[in-house]
Amino acid sequence: MSGDAFRLDARRFGQGSFCSRIHWRHGLWLGLAFFGSLAFAYAQSEPEQQVPSAIATLILWLPFILKGFGLNLLMSFIAMAAATVLGIGLGLLQVSRSPLLRAPAWFVTHLFRNSPWLVILFMIMFLVPFEMRLPGGETVRIPDWVKATFAFSLPVMANISEILRGAINSIPKGQWDSAESLAFTRGQTLRWIILPQCVRRAIPPWMNWYALLALATPMASILGVREAVGNAQAAMEAAGARPELLIPFYLFLLCLFFAYIYPIAIWTRKLERKYVVAN
Amino acid sequence: MLLQTNSNARGANPQTNWSPDMPIISLRDVHKSFGAVEVLKGISFDVRKSEVICIIGPSGSGKSTLIRCINGLNNIQKGSIKVEGQEVNDPKLDLLALRKKVGIVFQQYNLFPHKTALQNVMMAPVLVLKEPKREVEERARALIAKVRLQGKEDAYPGELSGGQQQRVAIARSLAMRPDIMLFDEVTAALDPETVKEVLLTIRELAAEGMTCILVTHEMGFAREVADHVYFTDRGVIVEHGPPDQFFTKATDPRTRQFLSQIL
């Protein structure tokens, strides 16, 4: 990714980002595809055999899959919170005046921005021990989903760091000049003048990264975390691994994530437009 | 009068042997480079209290750099700049004290866009000087009235014209109760019809005895308000004098050429 990929020209966010030119009718198409596939699966299943239909199987396993989806949401919330806190810290270090702070922050940011999420996930899974000894002598097991959450927060942290750096650098130099001439220190200038102006600019890309993060959480199923996709696969196994289950189950997962992410994408888009107008 | 300045109250400064009857600003052989480019090549002049100084000259002659050096926004490589006897070029300088004394207004206004006009004026006294909010607000409202913007207290900079923004910027600087005001081409980015209202504000300040240094292209205004005019070109002062003499009897060919182009 080129260096100015996150130069915050608000007009650019919409184009090429995943939520470009979205409309409610896209959701409608997806819903139609889902119910169409159900009808297709129903037509394929032979009624004389004493197995439940694909729909019945799906409905039977619905609570199990939704419980898994709850874990997807939980992982996305915690990872985003951690990524935001760490990313802001890293971003501030990136604009520090001391090269001793700036250089490592730059390195960490670019390392995690430019690595495949799956590789980061595997590394964290195998590097972080499955249990940890507390100073008191007790051992605490670290669940896999916690490790996965930590792994997902790293690339998002790096991108938030870069969003913040870009936002700070996009504030005109004159703002620093006038703050300095009014006797604000560098810290006070950041706190009262620069960062408040960055928030508006950074929120749409921040939301964009949340959406990408939430969509990445099913990767954890590869490592046995019992989230929605992993649970759906387990349910299909349990129901006899019949091929006609595949399309309805996966389409259902698609609809589930879509129903959650799509409103976020539309909201992000609205905010982007609003800020373009406001600027 | 709104502009109670600090210097009267402060009077003589025992630490620097400065007293109000000495020059309030004193520049000696100031050199400033950006990398290999030397922008100021030995500038010296004095400004007395309540004097109005205009610095004119072609673009790129170092005028803006010069006044940015006076309040320490740019550092200098050689020479001395003293404000009320205090050396600006001293690494141990108390920057807060200097910036309370010297206000600056920029060509591009540089108001804080996320704050209203009133908040812009109040911010530095409240957050930096830690003065009581109620007191500052009273003073800020009075300053906004002074620059003729009553009713615009709650407007955001984006809702104001260039001239109005520039007057808020002047009020914002005055809220720090400076002894000296620096104006860096404050009308250069304005529409002709709003230039007048900004110049009016500056003229009033000058009439109240504020020490002012203006970098300007408004020759008519310079002639009218200045006590002394300096013409700089390529980093040196080419010619200077009281405005009547400067604008009519300039001797240096460079000055004459510049004036003939601009007048």
CATH number belonging to domain B6-262: 3.40.50.300
- CA-based nearest residue in chain B for residue A198: B114
Q: Is B159 on the interface with A (CB under 8 A)?
A: no
Residues 17-46 of A with CB under 8 A from B: none
Q: Which two tokens stand for residue A251?
A: 């389409």
List the domains of chain A with CATH numbers.
40-278 (1.10.3720.10)
Give the domain ranges of chain B. 6-262
- CA-based nearest residue in chain B for residue A184: B128
Instruction: Give the three-class secondary structure for B84.
Output: coil
**ipTM of the modeled complex:** 0.89
Q: Spell out the per-residue pLDDT of chain B, length 263, in tens.
A: 455 545 444 556 666 778 888 899 999 999 999 988 999 999 999 999 999 999 998 888 889 999 999 999 999 999 999 999 889 888 888 888 899 999 999 999 999 999 999 999 999 999 999 999 999 999 999 999 999 999 999 999 999 999 999 999 999 999 999 999 999 999 988 888 889 999 999 999 999 999 999 999 888 899 989 999 999 998 999 999 999 888 888 888 888 888 888 76
Q: Which of B194, B152, B145 is nearest to B174 (CA)?
A: B145
Q: Is B71 on the interface with A (CB under 8 A)?
A: yes
Cβ separation A184–B124 shorter than 8 A: yes
Q: Is A182 on the interface with B (CB under 8 A)?
A: yes
Contact of B123 with A179, CB cutoff 8 Å: no
Residues 65-84 of A with CB under 8 A from B: none
- CA-based nearest residue in chain B for residue A173: B110
Cβ separation B128–A184 shorter than 8 A: yes
From start to end of A94-242, where are the E strands? 131-133, 139-141
Interface test with B, best of A173, A177, A178 (most B CBs within 10 A): A178
Q: Is A181 on the interface with B (CB under 8 A)?
A: yes
The structure's pTM equals 0.80
Q: Which residues of A touch B172 (CB under 8 A)?
A: 178, 182
Å between B76 CA and nearest CA of chain A = 17
Q: Is A196 on the interface with B (CB under 8 A)?
A: yes
Cβ separation A181–B99 shorter than 8 A: yes
Q: CA–CA separation, B37 vs B41, rounded Å?
A: 10
* Burial group, residue A15, by CB count within 10 angstroms (0-12, 13-18, 19+): exposed
- With b for 16 or more beta-carbon neighbours within 10 A and e for fewer, the B43-62 pattern comes to bebebbbbbbbbbbbbeebb
Long-range contacts made by residues A14-17, C-beta under 8 angstroms, separation at least 24?
Answer: A14/A269, A14/A272, A14/A273, A17/A208
